[in-house]
Amino acid sequence: MAVDRIEDGVVVSLNYVLTVDGEEIARTEEGEPMDYLHGAENIVPGLEAALTGKVLGDRVSVTLKPADAYGDYDDENVEELDREDVPNADELEAGMIIEVEDEEGFTYLATVREVSADTVILDYNPPLAGKTLTYDVEVTALREADEEELAHGHPHGMDDEDEDWDDEEDEE
């Protein structure tokens, strides 16, 4: 069945430019759109809402407050560690984004805020928390998701480049 508008269960291909505080911080490459599964929280909620009902070729420009994007910045999500407890402290610099594993084996992304002689400060807020985001989007393709994609909650690509969805999220 052909899909003619964006609704839950549709795999959407987009070109987009993301602008924060007047500065472009991300864009899709020419001919390499981003795919996502609509209704599966693959993208920030405000962008997903803005795209509902849109059709192939539509262009959408939307500005999202933090609550509709990556949430407010939370000062509580910042942790100061003793430098001696951070095995690779010598390799860290302020601004780096690193993967941190907790005692139960869950991994989190953290931004290194500060490395001093005695301490390392890690920030677990998403890098875009607290930011107002502007997305300029063009809808370049629509198709119905298959059963496996719906079960996984993300699209599967036609080539190896898209396998990272499964590397990160699935046990198969």
Q: How far apart are CA 15 and CA 105, in angstroms?
A: 35
The identity of residue 124, as a single letter, is: Y
CB of 45 to Zn ion, least distance (A): 22
Cα dihedral: 160, 164, 169, 172 (round 10):
30
Q: How far apart are CA 122 and CA 124, in angstroms?
A: 6
**Contact positions with Zn ion (CB under 5 A) in 132-171:** 152, 166, 170
CB of 15 or CB of 42, closer to Zn ion: 42
**17 C-beta neighbours (distance < 10 Å), count:** 15
CB of 46 or CB of 155, closer to Zn ion: 155
CB of 123 to Zn ion, least distance (A): 30
The identity of residue 99, as a single letter, is: E
CB of 123 or CB of 149, closer to Zn ion: 149
CB of 20 to Zn ion, least distance (A): 30
Residue nearest to Zn ion (CB): 152
User: Residues interacting with Zn ion, by CB under 5 A?
Assistant: 152, 166, 170
